[in-house]
Amino acid sequence: MNNFKNWTEVTKGLYRYVIGANICYEIHILNWYFDTDILTAKASLYLVGDWKQSNGNSFFERETILAEQPVFKCLEAAQKDNDENNK
């Protein structure tokens, strides 16, 4: 998860790291100058998934974890969030 090469680009500037059935982290690249390292590009990090409430209702949500930060900070935040909430 810490290595951006392990994330899959699903469309231009949208990268996904799957952590479970119907659950993933997404990094959305907002601005990247091609002559710079992509790890310094401005991006936002989301936790995306289908969730089930205790009453049985299901829903989809894209939750912002980190907004408008460099990709390397998004990677750190994804690892931290995963370690704290998904083990």
How does pLDDT run across 35-86, given as a tens digit for each residue?
Answer: 999 999 999 999 999 998 899 899 999 999 999 999 999 999 999 999 999 8
Nearest residue to 15 via CA among 34, 51, 41: 41
pTM listed for this prediction? 0.92
Q: What angle do CA 34, 70, 59 make, to 5 degrees?
A: 110
- Give the pLDDT of residue 28: 98
Question: How far is residue 11 from each of residues 4, 40, 81, measured CA to CA in Å?
Answer: 15, 19, 24
- Give the pLDDT of residue 18: 97
